[in-house]
Structures are given as structure tokens and as C-alpha cells.
């Protein structure tokens, strides 16, 4: 059988003495540290609360916010938490977490050993958001970067303008006597969108799965006051936010005069015919931001993960970078 089950993609070139391998998860070579690994490990850095630590790691390294959000969901686990920008040692490793801009608590990790520095971004974006700390580009020798929108056409429109368009869509819908219904994933995106509407004096009512996460956000100090939990009959002048998998539910079907929208980076490539409007608002870096990170990090070696790892690696290689996908991209479905 080829490749064998324990097939490892290891590349060690030049004099850089820190690197990762892919072995059913990203592993920092010569250490016990794994990065967002979907398998059981002794110690795993979990970059943010979308990651499902189904592998029941013996210990999870994360920010306090990520640990709290995961713990509320799965109710178990042993955590090693650290605030952003505080350097600490673990054996021979010097570690530091930095904001990733993806959702509340989301972090990149910078690892230094033997004078070499490796950065793992996890899901990230570089622009400002309302519910996550803004990410910056971290300098490193080896960059392990997650590439979700890494194809050249995947360029997001200006965030402020898109927010303004979405808010005016909601206000217009209410003025017309209709009910704005927004579909967004319950963890992270829904809270970000709710913050946008609240900042523009709109009232927001959310599905209970979203409400629970909003309560966790509030407990972690994120001001998400005045969000109400959806019950049988919402008031007309409210923006309703539901998770996308409930778009064909009876509750949505019963809403009178609903006008629907989605807000996602995927709206770049999907038609979303089922919704009345689509706005490109994403918690991920787009193609220009990924190129910017590759360039400004100063990395001598770039390892890419995520759904567009292969095309972005090919593009960076053609531009003169030492870049490669870290593992077969179809395996990233596990993430």
C-alpha cells in the first residue's frame, strides 16, 4: 500500500533546525507538541474554538478564551492557558501566542528552539474585526500557514463597505415591513455579525445555539448586550440570525415575510440562490493577505495547510519561495 499509513511528509533543508511533519496531524519535529491535530496527542496547541479536539489530547495549549469556549462545549479536558504576547518555556521550546483575528480567542503560535523560529497561523485574517484581536504578521524562519482562500481570484471586497451594505440591506428590509434573516455559523461568525448590527442600532434575535455562544462571549468580556434568544414570534424590527443548517427548518418557514441573506467568504465562489442577498464577510485571509503574510514574515521555508494549500504553494514556488503543501489537501477535511 502506498503511501503507507504512517507516511510522513518531512522536509529538512538548509540549516533551519525547526520544522514540522504531517502524521495524521501537524507535529513539531523532535518535540511532544502538535498543532490543531485531529488525533490523540500528549500536548496539542488548539488555535481556536472551531477546532474539534476530538482526539482528547492529554493537555491542550490555548488562550484562556479558546479553552473556555471548548470547555463549555465538550465539558472536559486539561488545559494549559496563556495570554497573548507572554513568552514561556516548555522544555527546550520558547512559546508565545499572538492574536489570529479569526474569532474570539483565536491565536497563532510562535515557537523558538535552537535559534530557529517557526510560526503556525491556524485560521487567521489580518484585517480588523469586532470580536477578535487583530492579527499581525509574525517574523519567522519557517511559516506554517493555513490557506483557505488561496486562489488568485479570491480577493475580498473592502470590509467596511461590505458591512455598510449589509446593514443598509437589513434596515431597508425592516422599512419595507419584512424580516431580515441572516444565516451564519453559530460559533464566531454569528457573534461577529451580531456585533455589526448592534453597532448600527439594530436589534438582534438569535437561535438558541448562537445565544449560548453569545453568553460565553459575554462571560469572556465581549460586550454583546441586548441580544435576545429566538422564541416563537420575533418582533418585526429585529434582525434574526440562525445557523445555515436550519434554513429549511419549520421555524424559518413559519416566519412571515422573511428576507434572507448569507455573509461568508464562500459567497465569492457560490451562488447562494436560496438566499435573497449575499455579503462577503469572512474570518479568513484572502489571497492578497496570504501573499502579504508569506512575504512580510521573511520565512525561508513555507508549509501550507488548508483547502487551497496546493495551488498557493505552486504560486509561491513560481515566485521564488521555498513553499510546499504540508499534506494531501483532501485530508484537511478532518479539520
Our finding on whether 146 is near Zn ion (CB under 5 A) is no
Cβ closest to Zn ion, residue 165 vs residue 266: 266
CB of 122 to Zn ion, least distance (A): 8
Our finding on whether 187 is near Zn ion (CB under 5 A) is no
x/- letters, 69..108, toward Zn ion (CB under 5 A): ----------------------------------------
Cβ closest to Zn ion, residue 189 vs residue 303: 189
DSSP of 87-123? -EEETTEEEEEEE-SSSTT-EEEEEEETTEEEEE--S
Cβ closest to Zn ion, residue 50 vs residue 303: 50
Q: At what angle do helices 159-175 and 189-199 cross, to 10 degrees?
A: 70
CB of 158 to Zn ion, least distance (A): 22
**Selected range binding Zn ion among 117-125, 217-225, 297-305, 322-330, rule: CB under 5 A:** 117-125
**Selected range binding Zn ion among 47-55, 59-67, 109-117, 238-246, rule: CB under 5 A:** 47-55
CB of 335 to Zn ion, least distance (A): 8
H helix or E strand, kind and range, residue 302:
strand 301-305
Contact in structure between 70 and 53 (CB atoms under 8 Å): yes
Nearest residue to Zn ion, by Cβ distance, number only:
50
Q: How do 277-279 and 258-263 pair as beta strands?
A: parallel
CB of 189 to Zn ion, least distance (A): 9
Cβ closest to Zn ion, residue 123 vs residue 238: 123
Torsion of CA 68, 69, 72, 77, to 10 degrees: -60
Contact in structure between 305 and 36 (CB atoms under 8 Å): no
Our finding on whether 123 is near Zn ion (CB under 5 A) is yes
CB of 187 to Zn ion, least distance (A): 8
Cβ closest to Zn ion, residue 25 vs residue 234: 25
CB of 284 to Zn ion, least distance (A): 8
DSSP 139: -
Half-sphere exposure of 38 (CA within 13 A, CB side): 10
Grid coordinates representing 209?
445555539
Which of 19, 25, 37, 50 touches Zn ion by CB under 5 A? Answer: 50
Is the Cα torsion angle 94, 23, 76, 109 positive or negative in sign? positive
CB of 133 to Zn ion, least distance (A): 15
* # residues near Zn ion by CB under 5 A: 2
The residue among 124, 155, 141 whose CA lies nearest residue 15 is 141
Cβ closest to Zn ion, residue 50 vs residue 287: 50
> How would you label 108-124 residue by residue, b for 16+ Cβ within 10 Å and e otherwise?
bbbbbbeebbbbbbbbb
CB of 306 to Zn ion, least distance (A): 10
Cβ closest to Zn ion, residue 187 vs residue 205: 187
**Residue corresponding to grid cell 422564541:** 231
Q: Which residues bind Zn ion (CB under 5 A)?
A: 50, 123
Amino acid at each position: 500500500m502506498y503511501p503507507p499509513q504512517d507516511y510522513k511528509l518531512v522536509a529538512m533543508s538548509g540549516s533551519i533546525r525547526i520544522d514540522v511533519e504531517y502524521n495524521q496531524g501537524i507535529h513539531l519535529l523532535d518535540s511532544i507538541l502538535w498543532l490543531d491535530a485531529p488525533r490523540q496527542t500528549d500536548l496539542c496547541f488548539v488555535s481556536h474554538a472551531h477546532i474539534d479536539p476530538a482526539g482528547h489530547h492529554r493537555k491542550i495549549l490555548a488562550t484562556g478564551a479558546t479553552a473556555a469556549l471548548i470547555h463549555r462545549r465538550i465539558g472536559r479536558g486539561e488545559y494549559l492557558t496563556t495570554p497573548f504576547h507572554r513568552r514561556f518555556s516548555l522544555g527546550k521550546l520558547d512559546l508565545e501566542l499572538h492574536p489570529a483575528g479569526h474569532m474570539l480567542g483565536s491565536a497563532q503560535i510562535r515557537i523558538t528552539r535552537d535559534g530557529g523560529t517557526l510560526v503556525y497561523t491556524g485560521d487567521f485574517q489580518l484585517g480588523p474585526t469586532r470580536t477578535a484581536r487583530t492579527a499581525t504578521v509574525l517574523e519567522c524562519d519557517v511559516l506554517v500557514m493555513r490557506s483557505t482562500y488561496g486562489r488568485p481570484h479570491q480577493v475580498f471586497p473592502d470590509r467596511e463597505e461590505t458591512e455598510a451594505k449589509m446593514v443598509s440591506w437589513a434596515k431597508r428590509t425592516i422599512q419595507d415591513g419584512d424580516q431580515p434573516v441572516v444565516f451564519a455559523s453559530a460559533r464566531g461568525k454569528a457573534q461577529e455579525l451580531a456585533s455589526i448590527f448592534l453597532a448600527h442600532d439594530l436589534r438582534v434575535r438569535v437561535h438558541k445555539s448562537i445565544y449560548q455562544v453569545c453568553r460565553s462571549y459575554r462571560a469572556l468580556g465581549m460586550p454583546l448586550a441586548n441580544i435576545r434568544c429566538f422564541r416563537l414570534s420575533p418582533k418585526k424590527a429585529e434582525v434574526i440570525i440562525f445557523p445555515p443548517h436550519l434554513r429549511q427548518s419549520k421555524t424559518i418557514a413559519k416566519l412571515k415575510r422573511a428576507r434572507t441573506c448569507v455573509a461568508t467568504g464562500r459567497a465569492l465562489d457560490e451562488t447562494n440562490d436560496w438566499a435573497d442577498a449575499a455579503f462577503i464577510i469572512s474570518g479568513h485571509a484572502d489571497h492578497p493577505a496570504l501573499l502579504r503574510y508569506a512575504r512580510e514574515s521573511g520565512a525561508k521555508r513555507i508549509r501550507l495547510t488548508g483547502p487551497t494549500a496546493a495551488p498557493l504553494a505552486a504560486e509561491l514556488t513560481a515566485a521564488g519561495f521555498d513553499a510546499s503543501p504540508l499534506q494531501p489537501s483532501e485530508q484537511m477535511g478532518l479539520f
